[in-house]
Each structure stands twice: as structure tokens, then as C-alpha cells.
Amino acid sequence: MIASIQTNSKKYQIDLTKPIDISIPLRASSTNVSAFYVEPPVIEPIKDDEGFLARVSDGAAFNFNTVSFTPHGHGTHTECVGYVSREFNSVNENLKQFFFLAEVITVAVEKLGEDLVISKKQLQFALGNKKRKAVVIRTIPNTVDKLTMQYSHTNPPYLLEDAAIYLREKGVEHLLVDLPSLDKEKDDGELLAHHAFWNTQGKVRKNATITELIYVQNFVQDGTYFLNLQIAPFENDATPSKPILYEVITN
């Protein structure tokens, strides 16, 4: 099925039968991707005081599970400014549109002291004069280990503050990264890149989102795509999400 999408200046076509899922699924396993010191997710059937277990394999007529997890630490999630704001902000309320013209870029993180970082200069080189509502950053090396990585206490790569400012000033409203956070794991709560991207010291960008812990497979080439940013309707600062890319059809 071919769909046509009109932006302000151009019409694009995408094939809806060829989605590219860049999310990491949530699993009740110690190998589930994890960050920020959380225990593995739990998915288990309801059990009542009389010993009834809501699982078909145990004799029940249905499966009826409770799921316990932390959006920020257990997989692909999309967050809004509520993550760092004193007042409550819900990503479900703030995100009103779900299709965006996106640019996928690949970045080799740079060494900065004891850290690995993404700099403004790297983003400028990768994006050039392209104007996109969404940017998807894939870091290299890019291995399947990202699907099961235990990031706690590993000091993962992060964005420098000036890189986040550059993206904000370039008009990027939706930033997706294959890192557990835009910011350094232990930064004394400064969260400089988050604050810079949402412009919390100026006119706050409530419509802007950050999606972390994605995984962009190697067969996906850098370039222009349409992004369908699917979220679960949680009234929370962050929610599990399923970002989908569609290649732009060229005639």
C-alpha cells in the first residue's frame, strides 16, 4: 500500500507494507536492556488468595498478566519536558502528531577525557543544511548487544550540551537516540542536554520529545525517512514507544 504525505513544500510517497521497527521490545528477562540501576521487568499472571493462577497453561481459561517495569530504564521510551519540569507534563498530552520527516544519521562517538560524546560539530557534518522535524541518531559500533545491554555503571556515551542546542535551534522537535540517555549517566542531576533540547530556561518546547534506547539495524541506510512515532497512552512524563521508519519512495 503506497501512501502520499504532503509536507509544507513537497509531497512524499511511502510504502506502508515495509515498516522498519527501531524499538527494543520489553521482555521479562535479566537480558532485557537495562539502565539506571533498575531490576529486570516482571510479567506474571495474577494469583488470588485461593491459589487461582490466571494462566492457560496452569488450567485457567485465559491469560491475565501484570506488567511491572520502568519506562526510562527498560527499553525504548519517549519522554517530554515533564521528565525535568517541576510541574506535571504528560507525553500523552503533549505529543499531538505522530508522522514526521526524519533524517537517520550515523555518528562515531568522540573521546572526551574519560567519556564518549556526540558533539555539535559531528551533527553539523551529518545534517548539513537539511531541515527535519525528527532526527534519528545511530552510534557506532552498532551491534546486536544494544538489545540486551546492561548500561548501569558503564558511563555510556551522551550528547554535549552544545549539540542539543544546535538541534533545537535547527528546528528538530523529535530526537531519537540509541543511548540510554541524552546525558551523562552520573552528572549530579544537571541533565544539560535534556534542558537544552527542551529549552527549559526560555520558551519551553512542550511539543518536543526525546526517544531513547532505540536500535537501528545496520541494513538501514543513512538518509531521509518518514517516522511514525507510536506511543502507549500513559499519563506520565515518559511512555514505552514503538518508532517506525518508512523509506521515502523515489521515482
The pLDDT, as a whole number, for residue 7 is 77
Q: Give the start-to-end residue ranges of the domains of the chain.
A: 2-36+71-247
pLDDT, one tens digit for every residue, the chain (251 residues):
887 777 777 888 999 999 999 999 999 999 999 999 999 999 999 999 888 999 999 999 999 999 999 999 999 999 999 999 999 999 999 999 999 999 999 999 999 999 999 999 999 999 999 999 999 999 999 999 999 999 999 999 999 999 999 999 999 999 999 999 999 999 999 999 999 999 999 999 999 999 999 999 999 999 999 999 999 999 999 999 999 999 998 75
Region at 2 (left for phi over 0; alpha for psi -120 to 50; beta for the rest): beta
Strands 115-118 and 174-177: unpaired
Residue 193: how many CB atoms within 10 A of its CB? 27
Which residues are within 8 A (CB) of 60 and not within 5 positions of it... i.e. 6 or more apart? 45, 52, 53, 54
The pLDDT, as a whole number, for residue 174 is 98
C-alpha cell at 234: 500513559
The pLDDT, as a whole number, for residue 8 is 72
Distance of alpha carbon 251 from its chain centroid, rounded? 31
Do the Cβ atoms of 243 and 220 come closer than 8 Å?
no
Strands 223-231 and 65-68: unpaired
The pLDDT, as a whole number, for residue 1 is 82
Do the Cβ atoms of 185 and 117 come closer than 8 Å?
no
The pLDDT, as a whole number, for residue 251 is 58
Superfamily of chain region 2-36+71-247: Putative cyclase (3.50.30.50)
**pTM summary value:** 0.95
The pLDDT, as a whole number, for residue 147 is 98
